[in-house]
Amino acid sequence: MTKQVEEYSVGQMARLSGVSIRTLHHYDDIGLLKPAYTGGNGYRLYHRPQMMRLQEILFYRDVGLSLSEIAVLLNSPPDAVQRLEAHRARLEQQHRRTAGIIETLDATIDHLKGKRDMAISDLYSPFTAGEQANYEAWLIQRYGADMAAQIAISQAAVSVLPGGMEKAMQELNSVETDLVSAYESGIDTAAESLHTLFEQHRAWVARMWGDKCGADGYEGLADLYMSHPDFISRYETLSPRFSNWLFSAMKHHAGRLRSES
């Protein structure tokens, strides 16, 4: 018995997904989501694989990835199952962290209302070293033994920094404040005037790594920032849509470093 092929017009796909026809046309034009084929009358027609690809695009759009970043993700290994499993794991981690923050918020509100006592140590429970350990475990799982070795080097480097992690985070805050100011001024991510700012950021990264941070490493760090929802959330807190700008600007800076070498 021949299995009937599911086939949907662009209008049907728009109604099913909630994505506008204009957006679907745009996805086709940029190569992000091509129809299964285009009929002789010019109508776009989609099958189940295209429906599944659109669903995956919407998953990544929901966490703030740009279309260009999604295109890179979809057109690179691993396969869809592995990508979706990794995305689910990240969302689960984010959910657990959000649940912990809500629990601490509730406790703090009750404490301020005089309904319960709260130990000083409990004030910071969602932001402890345990969360850092979770990030490190995620990095090692994603990038393997080389990342584990790099983390060990970084931990050793941080332990001997003057002023320790607290001073290092103050320095990062200063650098990021300047970057956010540049972003909010409307400056283009490829502007030459950003060179000094990103060299300051790259120098901070190198100190934290306890090793040099070359063009490849800096570009890889940009990819890392956009691959974990917690990083995206952090940068969006600094300024709306700052995460995409930072990602693009870091990529441009890495390319500039290569051209100068």
Upper half-sphere CA count for residue 179 (Cβ side, 13 Å): 28
Q: For residue 241, is pLDDT > 80?
A: yes
Q: What is the pLDDT of residues 12-37, one digit of tens each?
A: 999 999 999 999 999 999 999 999 99
Q: Where residue 246 falls among pLDDT bands split at 50, 70, 90?
A: very high
Q: Where residue 76 falls among pLDDT bands split at 50, 70, 90?
A: confident
- What phi and psi values does residue 28 have, to the nearest 5 degrees? -65, -45
Domains defined along the chain, listed by start: 8-62 (1.10.1660.10), 64-127 (no CATH), 147-260 (1.10.490.50)
Q: What dihedral do alpha carbons 25, 26, 30, 32 form, nearest 10°?
A: -80
Give the pLDDT confidence score for residue 1 in this predicted structure: 43
Give the pLDDT confidence score for residue 2 in this predicted structure: 47
Answer yes or no: are the C-beta atoms of 183 and 243 closer than 8 Å: no
Answer yes or no: are the C-beta atoms of 96 and 138 closer than 8 Å: no
Q: Which residue, chain included where needed, has tokens 């979770």?
A: 134
How far is Cα 188 from Cα 152, in angstroms, rounded to an integer?
A: 36
How far is Cα 259 from Cα 261, in angstroms, rounded to an integer?
A: 6
Answer yes or no: are the C-beta atoms of 29 and 69 closer than 8 Å: no
Answer yes or no: are the C-beta atoms of 253 and 218 closer than 8 Å: yes
Q: For residue 100, is pLDDT > 80?
A: no
Tokens of 231: 């990083």
Characterize 125-161 residue by residue with b for buried, 16 or more Cβ atoms within 10 angstroms of its Cβ, and e for exposed.
ebeeeeeeeeebebbbeeeeeebeebbeebeebeeee
Q: Letter for the amino acid at 256?
A: R
Weakest mean pLDDT among 94-103, 107-116, 174-183: 94-103
Question: What's the mean pLDDT when you consider all of the chain?
Answer: 81
- Beta partners for 45? 9, 37
